[in-house]
Amino acid sequence: MATVSASIVLDEIRVYAYHGCLAEETKIGSDYRVRIRVWAHLSKSVISDELSDTVDYVLLNRIVKEEMAIPSKLLEHVAGRISERIFRESALVEELEVEVSKVNPPIGGDVSSVTICLRERLKN
């Protein structure tokens, strides 16, 4: 059988969190949206139909919720922590993309959201 490389996407994970450089942001909080895309070789799970042979998206969602609950000044920092944990806790993930969006950011303009996108590949 050929090697199956696939991606798994968790889209629009909704979280209320307390990130930002302004004191008000860490007290009042804001709505955030997180998107995770992971790439992995899933040949085994295509045949076995077993959760242990794939990337568990329940785990990915839990990692996002737990890391978003830790206040940070920068979205880049939050995305980096999410990325680090996914690589550490899901051995099948070879590459990932984490997008963290702050909804209605306080930047003095009519902007629906601001997003940081972090893409990393596991080093061999």
Which member of 27, 73, 102, 123 is catalytic?
102
Note the pLDDT tens digit of each residue in 47-106. 999 999 999 999 999 999 999 999 999 999 999 999 999 999 999 999 999 999 999 888
Residues facing 34 on adjacent strands: 13, 100
Q: Provide the 10 A C-beta neighbour count for residue 29.
A: 15
What percentage of the chain has pLDDT greater than the value 90?
A: 77
Query: Alpha-carbon distance 101 to 74, whole Å?
Result: 11
Phi, psi dihedrals of residue 16, rounded to the nearest 5°: -105, 125
As a whole number, mean pLDDT of residues 26-55 equals: 93
Whether the per-residue pLDDT at 108 is higher than 90: the answer is no
Higher pLDDT, 14 or 41: 14
Q: Provide the 10 A C-beta neighbour count for residue 91.
A: 10
Phi, psi dihedrals of residue 24, rounded to the nearest 5°: -60, -35
- Is residue 123 part of the annotated active site? The answer reads no
Residues facing 16 on adjacent strands: 31
| Cut 0.85: pTM above it | yes
pLDDT for the residue 1: 60
Query: Alpha-carbon distance 75 to 33, whole Å?
Result: 11
